[in-house]
Structure 1
Amino acid sequence: MAGEVRRRSLGRVMAAATAGILGATVLAACGSSTEDLEANAHRERAEIAADGFVYGYAPVALTRTRANMTCLLPINQLYNQSQMSGPDSRTVVAPNVDTLYSVAWLDLRSGPILLTHPEMGDRYFGFQLLDIYSNVFANVGTRETGSAAGSFLIAPPGWSGTAPAGAEVIESPTWDSWVIGRTLVESMEDLPAAQAAQKQYSMRVLGPAPVTTPPSLPPNDCGNNPAPQAVGASGPAFYDELAAVLAANPAPEADGPLLAEIAELGVTPGATPSTGDRQDVEALASGVVLGSERIDDVIAEGSDGDPGSWSSLEDAGRYGTDYLHRAMVAKIGLGANVPEESMYHVTREDAAGDVLRGSTGHLLHFDADQLPPIDPRGFWSITLYGPDMFLVPNSIARYAIGDRTPGLVRGDDGSLDVWISSSPPPSGKTNWLPAPEGDFVLMLRTYLPTDQTWSPPVVQATE
């Protein structure tokens, strides 16, 4: 199933279950048995549980990411990653190797938070603000607010206080939120200057704290927090995590119909549905399996099914009630931004429909007029990941090729060839993106894209 999470009336489920008491004579006449009706009722309930799994995948994955990171980083403080991401960067899937990250996890129960940055000149930078459901509710930076020095007050839901002079108020839809800052590094020689800009970012809590707040998210169990990349491994306990998120961060009104459905299975704010009625728990266990399959099926479908075509996360960041799309993005690119800020194109196969493998060798050819269309203030890059969407070690420590890669050789006609293989091509390492011997995934990013309909050329096998 693709596009949107299916809706089912629990009334029909209960009606089917009630039919089981009508008597053996009626059942025989209808050609059904009590066991058949019970099986059908379980399937319906499992499908509703699967809706809940798809719905909860993104907020649970994001909350697990928060738990792992806040075991190391204090809440409500901005942490600057001073080095580029590498194969050891395994907290969030699909990290880029173009920018220095700045990260903060906000708990607005403490009060609004003031974020400031200095004059940034021509350097691309951005602070992306996500609610606990992974929706992007604001962007601060080059595109949205400009490069002049600025201050921004991130306020809790319903806040009505007075902001400091000159500060722009940004209200968060949820009490817990995530700030992802990105500061472009033009080259390794430019790294110290990018680090210096980072050091001028600031964040601090402003009082007073709100009088009435929902409960906090559960405390971390550092060292034992479940992995964000294995959401389905918890079985029915997954829904306990979702229930905790719902209690700490009340869901948007638009989510009401789905929440009403899963509430009949015991999934309500603050509950522990994994300890509920046996039949409900069995349905929840089946729902995890079915929901995982739905998400994986959408990822496998790619774009339009043409061999080698790239799928584009064109609607990332704003999901509304398209919970399946939200879950898919969370699984392959948690923290993806809105398309006007950045576009993400992903492929796992070549023009013949074969899975990308480093031992095969591949060529990505851009005609001169086919290069990624970006605003002069933006950038583009092609990053290689393993099947798990993390960076893979290689002999030259090159994990991406893009518009800032030094020494790239263009054709006489302005075209660009990128060679992707486990060993260097005959032409040498200049335009080589190293790959592992086995399977890999490519993600092409365009920051500040000028044409959101553009798609990369198909990858060709060279052997």
Structure 2
Amino acid sequence: MKRKLLVVAVAAILGTAGYAILKGPNLQKKNPDAGMTMQEIKARDDQSKENWAYSLGVQAYVYGLPLKIFERERRLRLNERKLDFVMSRKICPCAPINEFGHMTKLATADDTLPYTPNNDTIYSGVLLELKDEPVVVTIPDVLDRYWSAQIADAYLENLPYIGIRSTGGKGGNFLFVGPDWQGEVPEGLSLRRMPTNSAVIALRYGIAKDSPEEIAKVMEIQKQVFTTSLSNWGKEDGFGKVNPVQMERKEYDGDLALFEQMADLLNENPPREHQRDAVGMFQSIGIELGKPFAGDALDSAIQRGLKRALDDVDNIMVWKVKYRGTPYATRWNNLHEGEYGYHFINRAEGALEGLLVHSREEGVYFSTYEDVEANLLDGSQKYVLHFEKDEIPQLQDKGFWSLTMYGTNFQLIDNEIDRYSIGDRNTDLQYNDDGSLTIYIQHEKPEGLESNWLPSPDEGLFRINYRIYLPGEETRNPQTLHKFLPGIQKVQQG
């Protein structure tokens, strides 16, 4: 009764004006075709259909971009010639599918990596394909340093970690299985069920930058990292042996090849259950779970809209990557964490720039192309970044922070002292008497201040990433982290 009275009261208050608001301005036009020729009506309707397909095409591209990037990594590992090349050049921590690959050094300007590298941790990684058989991943206990095993599905969305924060540094034997696997878990294995049959693990081990023997220590840890096909587990001489993975990959061509590939990737690794409804909106452009994409059968206006979308999406993603995350007044952008929910544009930008992005408890990332006055950072200029004592990041145990210099290609900048980042692990870092800290960002060596120098290029634009690993509560809380984000100040040169 109360609900009925409320409805009557609202109706009385709104009256006819309220009805018009609810009805919507575009629906009030009783005859939208009035005064138009048949040819004009058809042209308008075709253009509208094309625009609708264009808008859905952009959204479909954004939704499926992580799958395409995962496919890039998969095809690399399935191509023996290319894989041998990148493994010999140490371009990435790559290895055949279901096997760990290891970097044996920190990234430098000599490396050209397919993602934004850090200069803080040594990478290991494995691409898992679990449809045919589960894989046991063995990781040793490491208690004396930062480390994390970041685990993500085919959409590059994070799943629960293993590492110094999440498991107290304890490793173990973990059975990774696909969403449909049914079987008995052998004794001594911890089950990790993935929402997709394809998954990835990124292992990061932190090192003290001024300690060369640290790399040797991490390489010894890497020797204790194994993968074993479940059918080999428990067999004599079976530990550490992975059965070869064979996967046929289709080649695509034509104007709408990307959407055809995207539909196949969606069917190969359907989205998590709670996100499947999001794919339903793409049915009118020919992308539907369980069905192949038939671009030639689509209406010509829809085809035109999809082609237009493909013309624009690269620039859209360039813009989004450049200004990704939450902006702050000091011109830093807080990058979105790797648990995206329905924020598919954030997921796409994270996959495109960094492949994998940490969850907030594990690390918070910031980037900027600008000084505090919103001018683009330029190698011909000099800058300082000054942290008051209470602006220096608060950290959890084994946490640390760094500032890393990048070119516009997201790679590290060559410089005369081979310093690509600076942070609290630089043992010669000099703090001011009041506990504050000043970092000098410029191409020329700042005489007498070299310990606090982050070298920039001699000219041209650059950007800086600010990473905080294992941030404390205030440092990772979106409501308070602004306290740790001083702006980069341009030095006036007279």
Q: TM > 0.5 between the two?
A: yes
Show the 5 A alignment for 1:414-429: 414-429=435-450
Cα distance change of structure 1 residues 217 and 38 upon mapping to structure 2, 3 Å threshold: farther
Aligned pair partner of 1:243 in 235, 238, 263: 263
1:219 counterpart residue number: 249
**Residue 171 in 1 paired to residue 193 in 2?**
yes
CA RMSD after TM alignment = 2.9
1:31 and 1:363 map into 2 onto residues whose CA distance is 63
**Residue 91 in 1 paired to residue 113 in 2?**
yes
Show the 5 A alignment for 1:17-416: 26=34, 28=36, 33-71=41-79, 72=83, 73-187=95-209, 188-207=212-231, 218-219=248-249, 236-268=256-288, 271-277=292-298, 278-301=300-323, 308-314=330-336, 316-416=337-437
Q: SS at 2:63's partner residue?
A: helix
Residues 103 and 180 of structure 1 are in contact (CA less than 8 Å); yes or no, is this contact kept in structure 2? Answer: yes
1:391 and 1:324 map into 2 onto residues whose CA distance is 26
Cα distance change of structure 1 residues 276 and 359 upon mapping to structure 2, 3 Å threshold: farther
TM-score (norm 2): 0.79
Residues 327 and 333 of structure 2 are in contact (CA less than 8 Å); yes or no, is this contact kept in structure 1? Answer: no
Residues 116 and 150 of structure 1 are in contact (CA less than 8 Å); yes or no, is this contact kept in structure 2? Answer: yes
Cα distance change of structure 1 residues 302 and 173 upon mapping to structure 2, 3 Å threshold: closer
Choose 1 or 2 for highest CA Rg: 2
Residues 324 and 346 of structure 2 are in contact (CA less than 8 Å); yes or no, is this contact kept in structure 1? Answer: no
Deviates more, 1:53-62 or 1:278-287: 278-287
Residues 49 and 301 of structure 2 are in contact (CA less than 8 Å); yes or no, is this contact kept in structure 1? Answer: no
Per-residue deviation at 1:249? 0.6
Per-residue deviation at 1:354? 0.5
Cα distance change of structure 1 residues 219 and 37 upon mapping to structure 2, 3 Å threshold: closer
Residues 27 and 33 of structure 1 are in contact (CA less than 8 Å); yes or no, is this contact kept in structure 2? Answer: no
Q: Deviations over 1:118-156 (max 9, x none)?
A: 231212211111111111112111111122342211111
Cα distance change of structure 1 residues 36 and 155 upon mapping to structure 2, 3 Å threshold: same
Letter in 1 for 2:54: A
How many residues get paired? 426
1:452 counterpart residue number: 476
Q: SS at 1:39's partner residue?
A: helix
1:318 and 1:173 map into 2 onto residues whose CA distance is 14
Residues 151 and 201 of structure 2 are in contact (CA less than 8 Å); yes or no, is this contact kept in structure 1? Answer: yes
Letter in 1 for 2:151: L
Gaps of 5+ in 2: 1-26, 84-94, 234-244
Residues 51 and 287 of structure 1 are in contact (CA less than 8 Å); yes or no, is this contact kept in structure 2? Answer: no
Per-residue deviation at 1:170? 0.9
Per-residue deviation at 1:207? 2.9
TM-score (norm 1): 0.84
Q: Deviations over 1:26-72 (max 9, x none)?
A: 45289964222221221111111111011112221232133235531
Per-residue deviation at 1:360? 0.9
Letter in 2 for 1:265: I
Q: SS at 1:109's partner residue?
A: coil
User: Identity over aligned residues, as a percent?
Assistant: 27
2:255 and 2:416 map into 1 onto residues whose CA distance is 39
2:77 and 2:425 map into 1 onto residues whose CA distance is 30
Tell me: higher relative CO, structure 1 or 2? Use CA pairs within 8 A at least 6 residues apart. 1
1:350 and 1:57 map into 2 onto residues whose CA distance is 31
**Residue 432 in 1 paired to residue 453 in 2?**
yes
Q: SS at 2:279's partner residue?
A: helix
